């Protein structure tokens, strides 16, 4: 059990962590729908794999980040310093992962990323992971405020992932309903193929 003032402070957040963890775990199932939709799209393998790495996989990672944080913060820690170490480490992992994602986004063939893509798939997640690092540093000195920052980062990751998953599902559903356009491009029927997001 947690000793001292940490116990009631963390206990006050348990319902929040339960809701966030349950939501993240449940919504991860939505990405299985995305994968099913991808399987029905005719596309070049290289383009398809690049799109999955740049857009689909990061969304699953953000859902898992929320789930991990909810589980970790629900554990019976002995001190906030241990929690801060874990939260800070996960924030750093998220930042480094987004650097990799940024390179993947730039390398998706036949697609020019828009400002909207950079905002939802890069900038907002980066802010959330940076917030986790800041909260981890402040957790020992000011745990009450730091827990609010962590909760804000979790909510941000959850909601932007919901938005991104919806964006992916909508795009892929439309692509599946237009096999004739893909067929024309594959057989040279279109002299100027459109640049579409190959997620």
- Summarised one tens digit per residue, pLDDT across range 144-189 is 999 999 999 999 999 999 999 888 878 777 766 765 544 444 434 3
Q: Residue 165's pLDDT is what?
A: 87
Mean pLDDT, to the nearest integer, of 70-96?
93
Q: How far apart, in whole angstroms, are the C-alpha atoms of residue 75 and residue 70?
A: 9
Whether residue 199 lies inside any domain: the answer is no
Closest CA to 120 of 62, 70, 170: 62
- HEC profile for the chain? CCCCCHHHHHHCCHHHHHHHHHHHHHHHHHHHHHHHHHHCCCCCHHHHHHHHHHHHHHHHHHHHHHHHHHHHHHCCCCCHHHHHHHHHHHHHHHHHHHHHHHHHHHCCCCCCCCHHHHHHHHHHHHHHHHHHHHHHHHCCCCHHHHHHHHHHHHHHHHHHHHHHHHHHHHHHHHHHCCHHHHHHHHCCCCCCCCCCCCC
Query: Mean pLDDT score of the chain, rounded to an integer?
Result: 81
Q: Is the pLDDT of residue 76 over 90?
A: no
Q: Residue 78's pLDDT is what?
A: 84
Whether residue 198 lies inside any domain: the answer is no
Q: What is the b/e burial string over 87-117, where b = at least 16 CB atoms within 10 angstroms of the residue's CB?
A: bbebbeebbebbeebbebbeebebbebeeeb
Q: Residue 2's pLDDT is what?
A: 40
39 is in which domain, residue-wise? Answer: 6-182
Whether residue 187 lies inside any domain: the answer is no
Q: What is the b/e burial string over 139-161, where b = at least 16 CB atoms within 10 angstroms of the residue's CB?
A: beeebeebbebbbebbebbbebb
Between residues 175 and 2, which one has the greater pLDDT? 175
Whether residue 16 lies inside any domain: the answer is yes
Is the pTM for the entire model greater than 0.85?
no
Whether residue 1 lies inside any domain: the answer is no
Whether residue 169 lies inside any domain: the answer is yes
Whether residue 197 lies inside any domain: the answer is no
Whether residue 191 lies inside any domain: the answer is no
Please give the share of the chain, as a percent, with pLDDT higher than 90. 49
- Per the structure, how many domains does the chain have? 1
């Amino acid at each position: 059990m947690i000793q001292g003032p940490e116990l009631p402070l963390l206990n006050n957040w348990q319902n929040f962590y339960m809701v966030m963890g349950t939501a993240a775990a449940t919504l991860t199932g939505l990405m299985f729908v995305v994968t099913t939709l991808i399987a029905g799209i005719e596309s070049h393998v290289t383009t398809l794999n690049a799109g999955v790495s740049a857009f689909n996989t990061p969304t699953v990672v953000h859902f898992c980040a929320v789930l991990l944080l909810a589980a970790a913060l629900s554990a019976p820690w002995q001190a906030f310093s241990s929690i801060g170490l874990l939260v800070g480490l996960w924030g750093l992992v998220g930042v480094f992962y987004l650097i990799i994602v940024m390179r993947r986004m730039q390398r998706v063939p036949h697609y020019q990323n828009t400002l909207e893509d950079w905002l939802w798939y890069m900038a907002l997640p980066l802010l959330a992971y940076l917030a986790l690092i800041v909260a981890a540093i402040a957790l020992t000195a000011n745990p009450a405020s730091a827990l609010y920052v962590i909760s804000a980062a979790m909510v941000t990751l959850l909601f932007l992932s919901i938005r991104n998953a919806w964006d992916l599902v909508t795009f892929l559903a439309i692509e599946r309903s237009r096999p004739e356009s893909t067929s024309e491009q594959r057989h040279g029927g279109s002299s100027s193929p459109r640049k579409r997001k190959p997620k």
